[in-house]
């Protein structure tokens, strides 16, 4: 998942979506995706449940500069509005009920400026079957705006 052939296109995709705007990552982990985005000069903030994961992120280059709030991504609010909110690497499956997943989607929407983007990815067939969005393939990405939903790379 750190392989540049996997990571670089994801970072390109999110940077393009943000178009210079602020980016929020839910379940930011150790900054695998967030830090390369910040290295491109984008303002990136995150929500993360685990203090040890944040400690690890802080030890990496650029990690001291990110705004991170400790909490549950289903309910925790970052200050301000964002052009893009994203969730990577199956982290939605850390929320074990459909109700919690829906709260997370609602929380993502609450972070977005009007008309902006929410991107999440899951490669779990089990998750796909129980997702509110009911994706039809086992490896699925979705980008949603208030007006439309479309598949993404
Ligand atoms: C598979 S890692 C993904 C980390 C990062 N998004 C990435 O792509 O490398 C999942 C992360 O979700 C965090 N996490 C789990 N449940 C969470 C929750 N309810 N709210 C916020 N973070 C959570 C874990 O602590 C862990 O850092």
Q: Which domains can be identified in the chain, with CATH numbers?
A: 4-151 (3.40.50.150)
- Is residue 50 lining ligand 1, measured as CB closer than 6 Å? yes
User: How many whole angstroms separate alpha carbon 60 and alpha carbon 62?
Assistant: 6
10 Å CB burial of residue 97 (0-12, 13-18, 19+) is: exposed
Residue 110 pLDDT greater than 80, yes or no = yes
Please report the DSSP string for 94-114 in residue order: GS-SHHHHHHHHHHHHHHEEE
For residue 2, count other CB atoms closer than 10 A to its CB.
6
- Is residue 89 lining ligand 1, measured as CB closer than 6 Å? yes
User: How many whole angstroms separate alpha carbon 49 and alpha carbon 45?
Assistant: 14
Q: What is the mean pLDDT of the chain?
A: 81
Q: Whose CA is nearest to atom 4 of ligand 1?
A: 29
Query: What global pTM score does this model have?
Result: 0.83
């Amino acid at each position: 998942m750190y392989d540049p052939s996997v990571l670089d296109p994801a970072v390109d995709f999110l940077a393009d979506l943000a178009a210079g705007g602020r980016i929020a990552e839910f379940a930011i982990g150790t900054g695998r995706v967030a830090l390369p985005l910040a290295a491109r000069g984008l303002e990136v903030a995150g929500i993360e449940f685990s203090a040890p994961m944040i400690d690890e992120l802080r030890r990496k280059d650029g990690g001291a500069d990110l705004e991170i709030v400790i909490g549950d991504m289903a309910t925790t609010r970052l200050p301000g509005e964002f052009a893009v909110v994203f969730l990577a690497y199956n982290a939605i499956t850390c929320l074990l009920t459909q109700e919690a997943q829906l709260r997370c989607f609602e929380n993502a929407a609450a972070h977005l400026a009007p008309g902006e983007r929410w991107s999440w990815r899951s490669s779990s067939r089990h998750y796909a079957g129980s997702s509110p969005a009911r994706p039809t393939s086992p490896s699925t990405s979705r980008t949603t705006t208030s007006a439309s939903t479309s598949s993404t790379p």
